[in-house]
A and B are shown apart, each in its own frame.
Chain A
Amino acid sequence: MKAFKFLAVASLAIAIGSATMAQGVTLRISCGAVGQELQLCTDGAQAWAEQTGNKVEVVSTPNSTTDRLALYQQQLAAGSSDIDVYQIDVIWPGILSDFFVDLNDYVSPDLVGKFFPRIISANTVDGRLVALPWFTDAGLLYYRTDLLKKYGYGAPPTTWSEMAKMAAKIQAGERQAGNASFWGFVFQGKAYEGLTCDALEWVFSHKGGTIVDDKGDITINNPNAVKAIEQAAAWVGKIAPPGVTSYQEEEARGVWQAGNAAFMRNWPYAWSLGNGKDSPIKGKFDVTVLPKGGSDGQHAATLGGWQLAVSRFSKHPKEAVSLIVYLTGYNEQKRRAIKGSFLPTRPALYKDADVLAANPFMGKLYDVFVNAVPRPSAQTKQKYNQVSSAFWTAVHNVLIGQTDAATSLRMLEQQLKRIKGRGW
């Protein structure tokens, strides 16, 4: 009943919206929290508003991703039209798809083709294009160039075991030299979404699949995945601090940026911070693709990033779509890449001279961004959070030594089957 009412209101609003287009409408977009991210969003939205004669209000949202999702759910489940355009995580299209308009109805396939196909497919649920990619993210390996040189390594590691060996040697050496707080490697090991990202990289790099494959079959219980998780568990307490199983991104960066780690797995954001004015490691590090799982493994980086979606309850969907097309457009993404190092979602921008001049690493790591591995959110849809939570809990149990990887993954498989039920 309620739904019908909303639909009726929405379609009525579309009609009115197009009739009054000339006078301009007021849209609300939710993006960023505060600081630079919010500023860039506000500037972009204002530019669109001036061009089109409409108005945009920017709504800032919580920094924490889970808080943000909770807020969106309440808004959307209540059919609220308070927010027209939502900035959503790359794993949310499957979760929230019911609440967003199908962009295929508004934009041309030609435009869609200008984005990374992998990200577009992550945003496509049951054939509906739920959101347009705004900026992307992928896991990277940070390494200390000065320390690698000091201990006689000419190049960053290409496999995880090579990385572990180098880390152990550097750690022993630095500790002997007097830094008792030095560690070989830091990553995100807390039981949260970040661990799903890290562990997916370990598993995929060992050719252990993506937890749930594209067809929706549960694939996580395989020998390669077991090997990958076991290997990671062996790092904890040896080359990674025992507290790493409570680390999120910032804790890892804290150890790394104080000069207390040789390697770090993190997102590109740590690049500009590490090269900040007073940073102790400024100019002493570089980034590369994450190692392979053994010589026959493959490189893997988990796909992150944010998209823009239009609420189905928006009273002005046409204008809202026009706004997100503008914000995800070539020029706007270029501006954001130069000013804020946000990674573009259009391949063409990685060949743009201005973008590359501002962010040299973008050109070098183009392949990483193109081939980033999506988490299984598109296939598991609304159950993605359950799947991810089961996965990170299983991995965390192995990392803290509560069970071994084989047992844990076997139990995980059973649990995922229960979650899946008759279908995702």
Chain B
Amino acid sequence: MTKKGRLSARRARTAWVFLLPSLLVLLLVAAYPLWRTLQLSFFQVSILQFPLKPSWVGLDNYKSLLADPYWWISLKNTAFFTIISVILETVLGLGIALVVNTRFSGRGLMRTAMLVPWAIPTVVSAQMWRWMYNDVYGVINDLLMRVHLIAHPLAWLATSRLALPSIIAVDVWKTTPFMALLLLAGLQSIPDELYEAATVDGASAWQQFWRITLPLLKPALLVALIFRTLDALRVFDVIYVMTGTNPTTMSMSVYARQQLVDFGALGYGSAVSMGIFLIIAIFAAAYLVSLRVEID
């Protein structure tokens, strides 16, 4: 072995030592519970029985999952929620980041305001929005009627057509700032000289956005996108608080909770959880493949 080879072997060892604490923690708090969930998904077992009487059912839970109309409904709802909310959050987040990135008086105030929606606990903000959405005494109907956008009060959460979009609006409100913050970090890492040079060359602001900002923002954008997509795919609190287990809005995680907690179906609920996990894993893999270049 050359000196260089020994050196890289030593560096690899150092790397593993540095990784060790994180890996240990993650094994403990993630791998173990995940393993347990996987195991349970092959059993039929109710949390409500004492003592627990698990019976091995092999892949039966997964077979029932595929035949379960509510699973497919919740999958459809989740897909709709994810696609719409992630698109809106990315576009709005980018807009806000661009605006906040320019110099203007009151920028500090704006940046603080950005974090407010994110800072309110979801369990509370979802309740708050439910209150604001009320068709009789809710402030949203009142506001929209004052500015003549609607003629009659709408029943936001009670109309099948409006319920999921209304929930998406809440999620967008809550997580756009998070998106904007991640993108802002990316934006601020783009050196000013590039824009100065482009301005000298006579490029318009629009051209500068497409030619400089967007390409250089790509890594930050992808990171933000991945985290938002993965988060949106397991959306729980906001839907659970606002409309409960109603099939018109139920997400996959809400359905998993209904099985695990409300019905005490540990086995089937675990299979639902593994289903969610698999779907998210496919998305993650797809993203990572497209991101591979960035990691190296």
Tell me if B's interface is mostly helix, strand, loop or mixed. loop
**A92-105 CB contact bits vs B (8 Å, 1 = yes)?**
00011011000000
* Shortest beta-carbon contacts, A-B, top 5: A3-B51, A243-B135, A243-B155, A191-B246, A98-B50
Taken residue by residue from 153 to 185, chain A's Cβ proximity to chain B (1 for < 8 Å, 0 otherwise) reads as 000000000000000000000000000010100
B243 sits at the interface (CB 8 A): yes
A254 touches B245 (CB 8 A): no
Chain B residues near A183 (CB-CB < 8 A): 136
- One digit per residue, 1 when the CB lies within 8 angstroms of any chain A CB and 0 when it does not, for chain B 130-158 equals 10011111000000000000000101111
Asked if A244 is an interface residue, CB under 8 A from chain B, the answer is yes
Contact of A254 among B49, B51, B134, B155 (CB under 8 A): B134
A255 to B155 Cα, complex, angstroms: 14
- In the complex, B160 has a CB within 8 A of chain A: yes
Map CB proximity to A onto B256-269 as digits: 1 under 8 Å, 0 otherwise.
Answer: 00100111100000
How many residue pairs bridge A and B at CB < 8 Å?
Answer: 105
Measured in the bound complex, the distance between the Cα atoms of B156 and A105 in whole Å is 53
Interface residues on A, range: 35 or more
Quick one: given A181-B136, A191-B246, are A382 and B48 in contact (CB under 8 Å)? yes
A277 at the interface (CB under 8 A from B): no
Tell whether, in the assembled complex, residue B136 and residue A192 are in contact, meaning their CB atoms are under 8 Å apart: no
Interface size class of B (residues with CB under 8 A): 20 to 34
Chain B residues closer than 8 Å to A242, beta-carbon distance? 135, 155, 158-159
Evaluate whether A191 and B50 lie within 8 angstroms (CB atoms) in the complex, with A242-B135, A244-B158 already known: no
> For chain B residues 220-264, which have a beta carbon within 8 Å of chain A?
243-248, 258, 261-264
Interface centre among B157, B244, B248 (most CB of A within 10 A): B244
In whole angstroms, how far apart are the Cα atoms of A13 and B264 in the complex? 29
Rounded to whole angstroms, the CA-CA distance of A115 and B246 in the bound complex is: 37
Contact sample, A vs B, 10 pairs, CB 8 Å cutoff: A73-B47, A241-B136, A243-B136, A245-B158, A246-B130, A255-B136, A255-B137, A260-B136, A393-B245, A397-B247
Q: Are A246 and B158 in contact (CB under 8 A)?
A: yes
Q: Are A396 and B246 in contact (CB under 8 A)?
A: yes
A383 to B133, CA, bound (A): 34
Using a CB–CB distance below 8 Å, which chain A residues touch chain B? 2-4, 6, 66, 69-70, 73, 76-77, 95-96, 98-99, 181, 183, 189-192, 241-246, 251, 254-255, 258, 260, 312, 382-383, 385-386, 389, 393, 396-397, 400, 402
User: Does B175 reach chain A (CB closer than 8 Å)?
Assistant: no
- By a CB distance below 8 angstroms, the chain B residues around A6 are 51
A243 to chain B, nearest CB (A): 3
Docked pose: A255 CA to B159 CA in angstroms: 18
B273 partner residues in chain A, CB cutoff 8 A? none
Find chain A residues with CB under 8 A from B153 CB: 181, 243
Least CB distance, A123 to chain B, in whole angstroms = 17
B78 at the interface (CB under 8 A from A): no
How many angstroms between the C-alpha atoms of A400 and B155 in the bound complex? 11
Q: In the complex, are the beta carbons of A389 and B136 less than 8 A apart?
A: no
Whole-angstrom CA separation of A66 from B161 in the bound complex: 27
Cβ of B245 and Cβ of A191 under 8 Å apart?
yes
If the complex has contacts A242-B158, A243-B158, are A181 and B47 also in contact, measured as CB distance less than 8 A?
no
